Structure 1
Amino acid sequence: MSRPVLVIELAEPVPPISIQRLRELLVRCSSHFEEKRVGEYDLNIHAESLGIADTGGIDGRRPVMVSLMGPGIGGESIFEAEHADEIDQEPLIGFTPTHAVDVIAFCNRPVDHVVTALLTAAVMDVIGGVANAELLEEQVPIITGLPGIVATPTEPWPAAYGSAEFLGAWARQPDFRLLK
């Protein structure tokens, strides 16, 4: 079963002060916070802390992992594997990513998709970057025209690159769902 995942592409390493601010954000939003290594966090996010009132009748604490990766921070092999089949991103987003952050939900209910998008937006507000979201063909018209879109390539698969504002606007669309 696929589950919601978003990637934040970064042009450079995240400074230690920004990692500290990220940690503080995640602690504030979580009922469970475990730091596996600097930049990798196992969490139970309070959906309400992200402004989500409708949790679909389930517990508002949603299991999520946030993982910063790249040279000098950890997860280098994962970063390289995830970017091995990517097209040249520089013409699309203005840089070639050197680091990334994965935001991964461990459940696949509608609320988990919204939590993933809004948590990713909150992380971007702290560390910057550009969100990279794979799309289904039928989602392309839905995201077209939303604020904060940076690029929408269709090859080798449909994707959207955008800002935190884009993620918030997309998450408010009816039947919002991340591809994976």
Structure 2
Amino acid sequence: MHRLALSRRQLLQAGAAASVLTVPWAPAQKAAATPLPAVGAPYPLAAVPLLGGGRFEPAQAEGRALVLYWWASWCPFCAQQSPEMQKLWAAQKDRGLRMLALSIDKKPDEAVAYLQKKGYTFPAAWLGPELAAAYPKPEGLPVTVVRGKDGRVVQAEKGQLFAEDVVDLARWL
């Protein structure tokens, strides 16, 4: 009997493919699939009202690495990655990491309730129709994009990241 050995990259790709096929998209996300931003491409930012109060302002990310993380409370892959994102945030925010988690839940209240239930403190916003134009969600879920200190994309991933992959995002600090 042969054993099938898959690399981590193959597992990630399979998970991303599965998430694309099985995720029930909100109507706003059905229109056109947005590709991942290209590594090296500039990534402009817009001001965002945060779910916990306050605002994310683009100036907060100037000269700093910013992790953008599209997620949903109903996404099983996000449920695995979000605790790792919280650990990354807690460990690296004082070193200059910036994070903006963008919920694609149908209602902001669903995202707020989920964040509170799980005790997540990373900066999160609801990707409503107005915000979707400024931060179009790439195809797949979860999606993680890292904007480097120079304002350009340094990493873009669709599908669930493993714990060690999330920890490795700190290399961009």
Q: Counting helix residues as a fraction of each chain, which structure ranks higher?
A: 2
Q: Counting strand residues as a fraction of each chain, which structure ranks higher?
A: 1
Q: TM-score, normalised by structure 1?
A: 0.32
Q: TM-score, normalised by structure 2?
A: 0.33
